[in-house]
Structure 1
């Protein structure tokens, strides 16, 4: 299937058309399943590794790659959070909710920072 796009030219009055193929990629379906870390990786690739992003996009491997990164990041996040909870146990939520929220937010921030350095910004 092809679509055309009209290109307007200066005063010559001649209409020129450009034929653009309508390509469908499997990655489009996979992109719908992406989570936070998949989108962060995609944005990083677009901005800082654009040639790699374009190659993966044309080879239709970008969706698979981003899903793998997202899955690995979520698994790593769970593992880091468990390690942090073992190292610094959470306070009792019923006794001191603010302390519990503070510690949970700290743990999440630490885990996210590690994941971004190890998996996303490489």
Structure 2
């Protein structure tokens, strides 16, 4: 995925690279723009003809990065709740055992004897 933020598609040498990238079926282009007063973005979108591979986000409100982050971009995979849970588990059980490690005590077998 390539994200273009604020690029107006006025440079043909860059447009060619983007167009070449879209020949790869798994490639995706996300275009984020404050506006398109010269219709370059829409013309490029139509010319490319790969609508399933292109996402357009165009509007005045997208000029504000905080709005973009809060309402349009994906949230982090690890959030505060996950960090807090990890801290609580670490405080209760100590450092988590490594998978396949030699630790005899873990939450699953606490109180068991060593083999």
Q: TM-score, normalised by structure 2?
A: 0.24
The structure whose residues are more often helix, as a share, is: 1
> Which structure would you say has the larger RCO, counting Cα contacts within 8 Å and 6 or more residues apart?
1
Larger radius of gyration: 2
Q: TM-score, normalised by structure 1?
A: 0.24
